[in-house]
Each structure stands twice: as structure tokens, then as C-alpha cells.
Amino acid sequence: MFYLADEKQIKASRTTDVYFLRTVQILQAKGINKRVKMEVFLKNLPDSYKWGIFAGLEDLLRLFEGDPVDIYAIPEGSVFYEGEPVLTIEGIYKDFAPRETAMLGFICQASGIATKAARIKKLAGSKSVVHFGARRMHPAITPMIERSAYIGGMDGVATVAGAEAIGKNPVGTMPHALMLVVGDTVKAAKMFDEVISEEVPRIVLIDTFMDEKFETIRVAEELGEKLSGVRLDTPSSRRGNFRKIIEEVRWELDIRGYRHVKIFVSGGIDEDSVRDLADVVDSFGVGTSVSNAKTFDFSADIVEVEGKPLAKRGKCSGAKKLWVCDNCGNRKVTLMKEEKSMCERCGSPMRPLTVKYMENGKIIRDLPSAEEIREYVLNQVKDLSV
């Protein structure tokens, strides 16, 4: 019905670039069954990013489930830097060649989104950030986008399917459509309060018809204690000085005793606006800047053929492993075969971040929940700068 590839078609390599299928055809015809190691790494992070968040590993592993391959990777949610190996696949090349397109697609987009989300969350600090970007992207990938946004550090997601993917409840306020169809902000707020379950916070959209300050006062006087927050999605043509509008709303709420009412802003929010407004708002709804985050151009290259180091020009040969020092934070790349490594900076034993995830098509590790990955991300990025 729609122009999309379903899970079966992806598993059957219908979304692969045809040159991989032709390569397999040639290797089969000529009886070439060479065992290779293929490595995934990112040469350049986008913009001025200094670090990235590796995401999409779970989907990637599901893609290879049942294939005669072994996979080594850094855990999903790991911080990585330019040039570090994040994943290695070992097997007979013709057995997994057609997987390359889909495999990269899973991690390139998810890592771009998770990294952007981590940057936004870092800039927001203790203020919450909710993902509103599903509407900008193809609906078939909503769960992937929202999971990536969440594991990168966002506090919540807005769609039902996205929330299901992370095992949480969806987060939402009110659309302008409700205000317009009801015809008045306060009337719509009252109807929301009457009809919608008590567990859902009453966050009222106050930019539809009139001035944000006066609409806020009207809504606060009507709902009182029950009002959790007001959302300002002020159109750009009316924004002028958005910070001043927010400060004014805060002031008017406070002097009337509505200090408990939170201020939620949305509409075109990106890193700069989060940086500028984090001290005057409580929550951000962030859409396009996260869901449309720059994709990462991970590449997959053969680095060993039949156990011998061999790689194309511009790429270092030999399968590699990434190590971290838990004592001083130092990082190092060695050949995969190294079993231990000492930190040159502080002398402590280093820990391999690269670990085996798949043996002959079977996932051999428990995969963490989205919540666990998010915690892992937040913990790693807390001392990093954006």
C-alpha cells in the first residue's frame, strides 16, 4: 500500500545496492569463498562535533541473526571519536555482502539522531526535552527515530509507537487544532481537564488566539492547582524577543501564586535556542532538529582477507579493538587479537570496549533496555562539552 520496505524485504536484502548482489553472483560462479573481517568506522563527524553516540546496534544484530557471521562491537550508546572502530563482522564475504546497505542504514541514521539528542540534552541540563519530530519523517521509522532520540538522552517521546519501543508512556500536550475546533483556549483547557485521564499533566497551549501572558493568566485562574504547565509554540512571525515573552509569562504566573506552573516551549528549537532559553523554561519540545539530525557516514571496509591484513588505500588494515582506561579516560586502538592493554598515560590496565555480540548468527549477550542505554549515554557525556 505504501512505498516502504517491510522487515521481510529488508532481511531478504531487497533494499541492498545491486552491486553487492552482482559481487555475490561472481564469487559464487568462481567458487571464491574467502573469509574476511569487515570494519565499520567514521572518518569525520558532522559539523564541529567532537564525539558521537553509537546507536542502532540492536537492529543491526537482528539483521544478521541466523547468518554465519561473528560480530564484535562497542556497546550501543557508547561515545566514540572519529576514526575509532565501532564494529567488526567476520565471515565468508559472499555470505554477508548483501547486508552492507541495510547494516549501515541502521547505524548511520540512529547514531546521528542519538548524538543530536545527547547534545540537546546536555545543553538543556536539568530541564526536560521531549521529542516532537516524528511528523517530519517517514512514519515507518518512527519507533527507530524515537528510540534513538530517547537513548541519546531525551526525556520523553510523543508518539504511541515510539513510546512502545522504549517501554514508556507517550508525552503530549495539546495541538492548535483542539483550540481552534473548540474556539477558545480556556474552554479547550477545561474540556481537556474533564475528559483526559488525571495522570496526564494539564499542559495548556496558550499561543493560538491571543497574547501568551493574558492567555496564561486566564488558564491559570481557571485550572488553578490542576494546571501543570503552559506551552508556548509562538509562531516565528510573532516571536520578537521570545526570551522576554517567556520571562513575562513566568513573572505574571509567579506574582499570582502559580509558581508550580511550568513553562514548556516548542517550535523550531535547536541547540542555540536550548542554550539561550534553558534558564527560563522548564521543558522543550524538540522536533525537526533531532528527527532530521545529520546522518553519520559510517563506512564498512574489509580489513583482513583469509587472516591476512588487507585494506583499500586510505584505510589501515587488520581487525581492531577499542580500549578505554576507566582510571584516566584514555583510549587506544590495537589489533583485535591483543588480549590486554596497559594505559600509557596512567599505567592502569585498560578495558576492551569492543566485545563479541554475535557468534555464528546467534546473539550471545543480553541486550540492554532503552532506559539502560540512555543512562549509559548520560553518564558518559556528563563531563564532555558540546
Residues of this chain that bind ligand PCP (CB under 6 A): 132-133, 136, 175-177, 233, 266-269, 285-289
C-alpha cell at 230: 503552559
Least separation in angstroms between residue 135's CB and ligand PCP is 7
Q: Name the residue nearer to ligand PCP (CB basis): 149 or 300.
A: 149
Least separation in angstroms between residue 120's CB and ligand PCP is 10
Least separation in angstroms between residue 114's CB and ligand PCP is 17
Least separation in angstroms between residue 291's CB and ligand PCP is 7
Q: Which amino acid is at 109?
A: Q
Contacts for 367 with CB less than 8 Å, ≥ 6 apart: 58, 61, 76
Least separation in angstroms between residue 275's CB and ligand PCP is 15
Contacts for 168 with CB less than 8 Å, ≥ 6 apart: 150, 156, 157, 371
Q: Name the residue nearer to ligand PCP (CB basis): 16 or 289.
A: 289
Phi-psi map region of 240: left, alpha, beta (phi>0 left; psi -120 to 50 alpha):
left
Q: Name the residue nearer to ligand PCP (CB basis): 278 or 311.
A: 278
Q: Name the residue nearer to ligand PCP (CB basis): 129 or 343.
A: 129
Q: Name the residue nearer to ligand PCP (CB basis): 293 or 300.
A: 293
Q: Name the residue nearer to ligand PCP (CB basis): 81 or 209.
A: 209
DSSP state of 206: -
Contact 143, 165 (CB under 8 A): yes
Query: Which string of b and e fits 276-291 if b means at least 16 CB within 10 Å?
Result: ebbebbbbbbbbbbbb
Least separation in angstroms between residue 294's CB and ligand PCP is 15
Least separation in angstroms between residue 152's CB and ligand PCP is 16
By Cβ distance, which residue is nearest to ligand PCP?
A: 287
Contact 107, 55 (CB under 8 A): yes
Give the ranges where 85-207 is alpha helix by DSSP (H): 93-96, 100-124, 142-151, 160-166, 176-182, 185-195
Provide DSSP, 7-33: HHHHHTTTTS-HHHHHHHHHHHHTT--
Q: Name the residue nearer to ligand PCP (CB basis): 40 or 129.
A: 129
